[in-house]
Amino acid sequence: MSRRARNPLSVVVTAAGIGTALLVVAYFYVNGVAHRVDPKSEATIAVSPRVPVLSARRAPNTLSTITRIDRLDRALTTVEGRIPSSACLAVNWMDRSMLDVRADTAFVPASSTKLITAAVALKVLGKDFTYITNVHAKMDANGTTGDLFFVGGGDPSLIRAEYPSLEKYATTAGTSLEKLADAIVASGVRQISGSVVGVDTRYDNIRFVADWPTSFYMTEAGPLGALFVDDGMILGQQFKPDNPALAASQELTNLLVARGVIIAAAPRHEPLPDDVPVIASVASAPLTSVLKDMLVNSDNNTAELVLKEIGFAAKKAGSTVAGLQTVQEVLAKWKIKDVVMNDGSGLASSNRISCSAFQKILAQEIDVFPSLLAIAGETGTIRDAFTDSSVKGSLVAKTGTLSGVKALTGYLTIENSEPVIFSLVMNEAGIDNKSAYRPVWYALSDALNRAKSTPSLEQLIP
């Protein structure tokens, strides 16, 4: 056992004193060291941001879009007051609605209707679709046949070489009747003991649309049929025959006679008998080329025959009724409303289409339609308009004209940018006069021309 200290208090006091002495010694040692060392500078290190806070690099896309949109928006404010009360106007750019004046109200569209016909034709028939016109005959070893059957395939662009020079707006993608005549001769035909027989059973025999005024018959359109040459005319004759198949057969007869083929009898119009082989054919240009002529030149006959072909392809009935039913079914699938159509050309004043419906069609066909429309100041129905305008060569559109109706629907193309889409349909007494509609057209085009591809993203980035 350890022994107890004789005086415990003195022990505690002694230990405390020793500890205190050691702490004092340690303090003076550390303090002396501190005074012998120079402290490091505490200067602040400034770090500049790589991109200035207000630099466009932080939001170049947004700034570019806002600048361009704002410029067009301000320009369009001057146009709205020029639009008649019975009219609609819609402008869209870069997925934005820039202007909406009664866009959901349907008005009489006149020939702008052809845009709907063309869009549905591309869907139902396909852009590479071609019309085929066949000639059938039973020929002996000497090149003699009884009748030669000229079978229409619905081609609205079948023409003789001289015909475009007679047109107000020349056909550019015509199907050559001379080429077909050459093919018949090349097949060995030397003599026809009967007739050239026109066959047009692919479509119905209704020559005009019921909703048209009779003043349009033979002039604005028709007579319609699946065998159709030179818009139903015979070169050298002042008036169209009532039967386009007979007119076509006469034109082919003339070409064959000029090539040395002997033909005994006058042309006829009958169905094709069974088991008569094809001896010659001619194909049209692709559908896109046919539609381009239709839209650029506002060809009413082509539009009506395209509509019948839509009906034939979709419902096996080459009629206006079947074509219109198909159009409505396709538009329903596309969720496009505000469309009432009673023909394919727009001659019917009972048609009603809204600007918003046109906008949807134009947006949907934006990869195809700009190359199929008339060019401002250069081609088709607007070759004489915008000739002194800044949009000459860049605005492409489909026009529409009836008494009291004027329409302009299309795109303003912009280099290095998506186009501006616009639809203008005006219904007002006298609006189809140049003095009434052209100021509106020019005000709109001037405003649209404020849409530019600049400032671009590259221009905004320092």
For domain 132-285, which CATH number applies: 3.50.50.60, 3.50.80.20, 3.30.450.40, 3.40.50.300? 3.50.80.20
For position 17, what pLDDT does the model report? 55
Structure confidence at residue 64 as a pLDDT band (50, 70, 90): low
CA dist 432 and 434 (Å) reads 6
pLDDT mean over 376-402 = 97
Q: Is the confidence at residue 66, as pLDDT, over 90?
A: no
- What average pLDDT does this structure show over 301-306? 98
50 has pLDDT over 90:
no
State the chain's mean pLDDT as an integer: 89
What's the confidence (pLDDT) of residue 6?
A: 52
Separation of alpha carbons 384 and 375, rounded Å? 10
pLDDT of residue 453: 72
pLDDT band at 44 (very low <50, low <70, confident <90, very high): very low
Token digits of residue 138: 């039973």
**All structural domains of the chain with their residue ranges:** 60-120+337-460, 132-285
- pLDDT tens per residue across span 75-128: 999 999 999 999 999 999 999 999 999 999 999 999 999 999 999 999 999 999
pLDDT in tens, 2-34: 434 455 545 444 554 555 555 544 455 545 544
Helices 300-315 + 287-297 axis angle, to 10: 140
CA–CA gap between residue 438 and residue 179 (Å, rounded): 43
Which has the higher per-residue pLDDT, 6 or 230?
A: 230
The reply to whether 60-120+337-460 and 132-285 are identical in fold is: no
pLDDT of 40 over the 60 cut: no
What gap in Å lies between CA 155 and CA 152, rounded to an integer?
7
Residue 339's DSSP bridge partners are 353
Q: Indicate whether 212 pLDDT > 90.
A: yes
Confirm if 144 and 193 have CB atoms less than 8 A apart.
yes
Q: Given this model, what pLDDT does residue 72 score?
A: 94
pLDDT value at position 334?
98
In this structure, which long-range contacts are made by residues 377-381, counting pairs with CB atoms below 8 Å and at least 24 apart in sequence?
379/296, 380/169, 380/295, 380/296, 380/297, 380/298, 381/111, 381/169, 381/296, 381/297, 381/298
Q: What angle do CA 134, 170, 239 make, to 5 degrees?
A: 75
CB atoms < 10 A from the CB of 235, how many?
Answer: 14
- Give DSSP secondary structure letters for 382-399: GTTSSTTSTTTTTEEEEE
pLDDT per position as a tens digit, 145-192: 999 999 999 999 999 999 999 999 999 999 999 999 999 999 999 999
- Considering only 27-36, 161-170, 276-285, 313-322, which range has the smallest mean pLDDT? 27-36
| Residues above pLDDT 90, as percent of the chain | 81
Options 3.40.710.10, 3.50.50.60, 1.10.10.10, 3.40.50.1820; CATH for 60-120+337-460 is 3.40.710.10
269 vs 276: CA distance, rounded Å: 16
The helix-helix angle for 114-124 and 287-297 (nearest 10°) equals 180
CA angle at residue 423 from 71 to 84, to 5 degrees?
A: 90
Tell me what the mean pLDDT of segment 241-264 comes to.
Answer: 98
Reported as a pLDDT band with limits 50, 70 and 90, residue 52 is: low
- Whether pLDDT at 51 is above 70: no
- Pick the range with the lowest mean pLDDT from 34-43, 212-221, 272-281, 357-366: 34-43
Q: How far apart are CA 424 and CA 437, in angstroms?
A: 11
Instruction: Output 386 or 27, whichever has higher pLDDT.
Output: 386
- Predicted local confidence at residue 238, as pLDDT: 87
Q: Which residues contact 229 (CB under 8 A, 6 or more apart)?
A: 158, 159, 160, 177, 244, 247, 248, 251, 252
C-alpha of 376 from chain center: 16
Q: How far apart are CA 80 and CA 86, in angstroms?
A: 13
Taking phi over 0 as left and psi of -120 to 50 as alpha, with beta for the rest, 337 belongs to: beta
The structure tokens listed for 55 are: 């630099």
List b or e across 390-429, with b for residues whose CB sees 16 or more CB atoms inside 10 angstroms.
Answer: ebbebbbbbbbbbebbbbbbbbbbbeebebbbbbbbbbbe
| % of the chain surpassing 70 pLDDT | 84
**Confidence (pLDDT) at 371:** 98
Amino acid at 411: Y
DSSP per-residue codes, 289-349: HHHHHHHHHT-HHHHHHHHHHHHHHHHS-BSHHHHHHHHHHHHHHTT--SEE-SSSSS--T
In the prediction, which pLDDT does 241 show? 93
Q: What is the pLDDT of residue 379?
A: 98
pLDDT in tens, 326-372: 999 999 999 999 999 999 999 999 999 999 999 999 999 999 999 99
